[in-house]
Amino acid sequence: MPLIEEGLLDDKLTDLTIERYLNPMAADGIDTLVLGCTHYPLLTGAIARSLGDKVQIVDSAMNCARAVKDLLDRQSLATASTSTGRLNIALTDAADHFLSIARDALQLQIGHVQLRSVS
């Protein structure tokens, strides 16, 4: 079951799954964990609960966002921060939990969502 897609961000099942995968690493004495998937930052709270404050968590999504911003700035493609944009969303699967997760994670108002098939 995809934990994030099902909205199980603060759930005992999620905590148990994280512990199953991260406890061996913690037992080996890691001091840094790099979140290498765009979904993983949504689990930062649960990961931090599992690892405690002994392990530094590096959010690759923030680094990726900074790199995109820098690239847009260098190529003069960035828009003014005062302008408002529009978010169009198309999904390939039902949006059961997507909208609430996206609203919370992105802190955006989300309007119409299109459901499309994969060709």
This prediction has a pTM of 0.67
CA distance 119 to 111: 25
**Do 45 and 103 reside in the same domain of the chain?**
no
Structural domains in the chain (count): 2
Helix or strand (DSSP H, E) at 67: helix 60-74
Structural domain of 112: 82-119
Distance of CA 113 to the CA centre of its chain: 19
CB 51 within 8 A of CB 22: yes
- Residue type at position 87: L
- Residue type at position 22: L
Q: What is the pLDDT of residues 2-19, one digit of tens each?
A: 777 777 888 899 999 999
Q: What is the pLDDT of residues 64-101, one digit of tens each?
A: 889 999 999 999 998 887 777 777 788 887 766 777 77
Q: What is the pLDDT of residue 60?
A: 83
CB 50 within 8 A of CB 18: yes
Residue 9: CATH number of its domain:
3.40.50.1860
**Do 92 and 56 reside in the same domain of the chain?**
no
- Residue type at position 83: S
Residue 1 has pLDDT above 70, yes or no: no
